[in-house]
Amino acid sequence: MGRILCATRGGPDSQRTQQSAIALAKERGDELVFLYVADSSFLDNIAAAVVVDVDAELEQMGRFQLLMAQEQAAEQGVAAEIAIRHGHLRPSLEQAARELAATLIVLGRPQKGTAVFDEADLQEFARTLAAGTAAEVVMV
Amino acid sequence: MDPAGPAFFVSLGIFLFVLLAIVLRWMHETTAALLGAVLLWLVHYLGGSAISSLRIVGFDESIAAVDWNVIFLILGMMIFMAMFSETGVLRWLAYRVFHLTRGNVWLLGLALVLLTGFVSSLLNNVTAMLLLVPLSIQIAETVGVHPFVYVIPEVMAANIGGAATLIGDPPSTIVGSHLGLGFWGYAIRAAPVVLVLLGVLVGLSLLLYRRELAAARKRASPVLLQELEARSRITDAPLLRKAGLVGLVTLLLFFVAERFELPPSVVAMTGAVWLIVWVRPDMRRMLQEVDWTTLFFFIGIFVLVAGLEEAGVVARMAGALGRWAGNSLPKATALMIWASGLFSGVVDNIPITVAVLPIAGQLSQTIPAAQGNPVLYWALIFGADLGGNLTYVGSAANIVAVGLLAQAGYRITFGRFLRDGAVVTVATLTVVTFWLLVLW
């Protein structure tokens, strides 16, 4: 039995990716793990009084996003696990894939105007990820 | 100093370079401000030894130009906030609001705006956003409303609410300190109009998002509700009691302070140190939690603006604005509100406020009707605070809220924020223009 890793943030653009990962887990009988990467780099260039534990706040928000994904999987008869990591998306995803021994990584294709990556960037990342983790990478 | 000499162009050039570095995100804001200050000093000492007119502002004059009341007021509030944020009270409050509105999405929108406006008048906006926005996103997802519907009005309420008190937003602190206003002296003048502005924001938000609110899902998921409740509890009740009591006494002390001419910074530091002595936190950790980048950003900007003043840039700008306004106070007031509002919409409002403050001071002396009348200073406060709502780079609170939304998978484009920001900014600046012209 393999393990599918689906990196997700939540929001409407992630729905398609989550649904595809759930369908793949069901079809292949694999375990499914939803991963949230809490990245606080949006605070990097601003001079503002950040006296709050930002990582803890992001982790709570991420946990909530993953619970929604987990709930959707349960509605379709798939028991999904959740995992949270801190840092930039790319290295954190690659490291999590290795730690969790993922055999398949599901990435969402960029949606117009609101994506983190553009198509070419994502394909390059998928190649790097596949080479660095020995997992199959699919873009949905 | 010759207003059109090399000093004029060098100090203006360095200031514009710093603004550009901030707007285009070439480097951290504090790095940009400190780089600008060091360049100014090097020009003074090295350039000044060759060309005497390049002696713009030396180290001692620069340090004397820093408003230490502002620095220590912000430091005191940071210490207080660092402890307060550990109590979980804001999440608990936001959850109570959600609970009391019984999931009515319209009432919830109104209540979250008012709660954020109130919280932002006492805590800095970035802290308010970091504590309230994640929960608001979760609440919106629970009731099936797009999170923009709550988060965008919330961040705008933070920028508006910050104008209500001396400690709410940097422009209020900088200008209020310059005017020598105490906490209550400031709040009595500003809070009433802020309440009106929050009312305008609520009305506009319900109008702008009426379709999304009407399409809300009726039944919330029990699993998500359970998670919301579990994560919205008071995490440190003894600390909350202590911080609450010290906060209350500090507010009362602000009131008494005006009789004894105690600067607001002394009151804020008194409250902060009292809390430290009472709670006995790990002092090393406490000092790590203070955001020194903000304090050094302020110091760098004060130094840069001292250079602008010494080089005659401020006098020249004030002269041009005075002539443009035809020495009419109403025209100058309107110009001050809208110009500082538009600039603050695209650049951080701290450098704008510090740079425009001496211009407001000079205009207050040269326009006959402005002598002894602080209206131009109030125009600057409201312009700089409210203008931050125009674009998502207009204030640090906006950048934080947009970053948090993106972290939850809701990316907002510049144009999407501007669409709502422009409506709210124009409406609130119009209300303030009428308020200032009528009242003063």
Out of A123-127, B24-28, B160-164, B209-213, give the one with best mean pLDDT. B160-164
| Contact residues, chain B, for A9 at CB < 8 Å | 406-409
Q: In which residue are the tokens 């430091």 written? A: B75
Asked if residue A73 lies in contact with residue A80, where contact means CB atoms within 8 angstroms, the answer is yes
Average pLDDT over residues A49-70: 85
| Contact residues, chain B, for A87 at CB < 8 Å | none
Among B234-238, B283-287, B338-342, which stretch is predicted with the lowest mean pLDDT?
B283-287
Q: Per-residue confidence at B148, pLDDT binned at 50, 70, 90?
A: very high
Q: In which residue are the tokens 């983790």 written? A: A133
Q: Which residues of A touch B (CB under 8 A)?
A: 8-14, 38-39, 42-54, 57-58, 60-65, 67-68, 71, 113-116
Q: Is the pLDDT reported for residue B197 higher than 80?
A: yes
**What local confidence, expressed as pLDDT, does residue A47 receive?**
66
Instruction: Extract the tokens encoding B136.
Output: 């608001």
Average pLDDT over residues B272-295: 86
CA distance A52 to chain B (A): 6
**What local confidence, expressed as pLDDT, does residue B430 receive?**
97
Residue B341 lies in a domain: no
- Closest of B313, B403, B400 to residue B358, by C-alpha: B313
- Single-letter residue type at A100: L
Q: Is A38 helix (H, G, I), strand (E, B) or coil?
A: strand
Q: Per-residue confidence at B322, pLDDT binned at 50, 70, 90?
A: confident
| Contact residues, chain A, for B72 at CB < 8 Å | none
Residue B50 lies in a domain: no
Cβ-in-10-Å burial (0-12, 13-18, 19+) of B24 comes to: exposed
**Strand order in A136-139's β-sheet?**
A80-86, A31-38, A3-7, A104-107, A136-139
| Contact residues, chain B, for A16 at CB < 8 Å | none
**What local confidence, expressed as pLDDT, does residue B364 receive?**
92
Q: Is the pLDDT reported for residue A50 higher than 70?
A: no
**What local confidence, expressed as pLDDT, does residue B315 receive?**
86
Q: Is the pLDDT reported for residue B362 higher than 80?
A: yes
CA distance B262 to chain A (A): 24
Q: Give dist(CA B173, CA B158) in Å, integer.
A: 15
Give the residue with greater pLDDT, B326 vs B377.
B377
Average pLDDT over residues B5-12: 92
User: What ipTM was assigned to the predicted interfaces of this complex?
Assistant: 0.84
Compare CB distances from B396 to A48, A54, A67 and report the shortest one's residue: A48
Q: In which residue are the tokens 């020995």 written? A: A134
CA distance A79 to chain B (A): 15
Q: Is the pLDDT reported for residue B416 higher than 60?
A: yes
Q: Give dist(CA B166, CA B168) in Å, integer.
A: 6
pLDDT per residue over B226-239, tens digit each?
888 888 889 899 99
Residue B274 lies in a domain: yes
**What local confidence, expressed as pLDDT, does residue B349 receive?**
86
CB contact under 8 A, B289 and A60: no
Q: Per-residue confidence at B414, pLDDT binned at 50, 70, 90?
A: confident
Instruction: Extract the tokens encoding B108.
Output: 């919830």
Among B245-249, B335-339, B348-352, B384-388, which stretch is predicted with the lowest mean pLDDT?
B348-352
Average pLDDT over residues B288-301: 86
Q: Is the pLDDT reported for residue A113 higher than 80?
A: no
Compare CB distances from A68 to B141, B231, B402 and report the shortest one's residue: B141
Residue B203 lies in a domain: yes
Catalogue the long-range contacts made by B242-246 (C-beta closer than 8 Å, 24 or more residues apart): B242/B275, B242/B278, B242/B279, B243/B80, B243/B83, B243/B84, B243/B87, B243/B275, B243/B279, B246/B80, B246/B271, B246/B274, B246/B275, B246/B278
Average pLDDT over residues B141-153: 91
The residues spanned by each domain of chain A are 3-139
Q: Is B95 helix (H, G, I), strand (E, B) or coil?
A: helix
Q: Per-residue confidence at A117, pLDDT binned at 50, 70, 90?
A: low
**What local confidence, expressed as pLDDT, does residue B257 receive?**
86
- Closest of B302, B294, B383, B308 to residue B347, by C-alpha: B383
Q: Give dist(CA B129, CA B126) in Å, integer.
A: 5
Q: Give dist(CA B263, CA B67) in Å, integer.
A: 12
Residue B73 lies in a domain: yes
CA distance B352 to chain A (A): 14
Mean model confidence pLDDT for chain A:
87
**Is the CB of residue B403 less than 8 Å away from at least one CB of chain A?**
yes
**What local confidence, expressed as pLDDT, does residue B288 receive?**
75
**What local confidence, expressed as pLDDT, does residue B241 receive?**
94
Average pLDDT over residues B95-120: 90
Q: Is the pLDDT reported for residue B3 higher than 60?
A: no
Q: Is the pLDDT reported for residue A107 higher than 70?
A: yes
Residue B166 lies in a domain: yes
In sequence order, the 6+-apart residues with CB closer than 8 A to the CB of B285 are: none
Q: Is the pLDDT reported for residue A118 higher than 60?
A: yes
Q: Give dist(CA B158, CA B171) in Å, integer.
A: 13
Q: What domain range includes position B276?
A: 68-289
pLDDT per residue over A3-25, tens digit each?
999 999 888 888 889 999 999 99
**Is the CB of residue B233 less than 8 Å away from at least one CB of chain A?**
no
**What local confidence, expressed as pLDDT, does residue B219 receive?**
65
**What local confidence, expressed as pLDDT, does residue B340 receive?**
93
Q: Is A84 helix (H, G, I), strand (E, B) or coil?
A: strand
**What local confidence, expressed as pLDDT, does residue A139 receive?**
87
**What local confidence, expressed as pLDDT, does residue B1 receive?**
52
Residue B372 lies in a domain: no
**CATH architecture of the domain covering A3-139:** 3-Layer(aba) Sandwich (3.40)
Average pLDDT over residues B402-424: 91
Report the residue of A16, A36, A45, A58 to disrupt the B interface, i.e. the one with the largest count of B CBs within 10 Å.
A45
Number of separate domains in chain B: 1
**What local confidence, expressed as pLDDT, does residue B225 receive?**
83
**What local confidence, expressed as pLDDT, does residue B151 receive?**
95
**Is the CB of residue B400 less than 8 Å away from at least one CB of chain A?**
yes
Q: Is the pLDDT reported for residue B339 higher than 90?
A: yes
Question: CB pairs below 8 Å between A and B: how many?
Answer: 125
**What is the percent of chain B with per-residue pLDDT over 90, rounded to a whole number?**
53
Among B221-225, B305-309, B319-323, B385-389, which stretch is predicted with the lowest mean pLDDT?
B221-225
**What local confidence, expressed as pLDDT, does residue B258 receive?**
78
Q: Is the pLDDT reported for residue B10 higher than 60?
A: yes
β-pair type (A104-107, A136-139): parallel
Average pLDDT over residues A53-70: 90
Q: In which residue are the tokens 């998002």 written? A: B209
CA distance B138 to chain A (A): 7
Q: Is the pLDDT reported for residue B220 higher than 80?
A: no
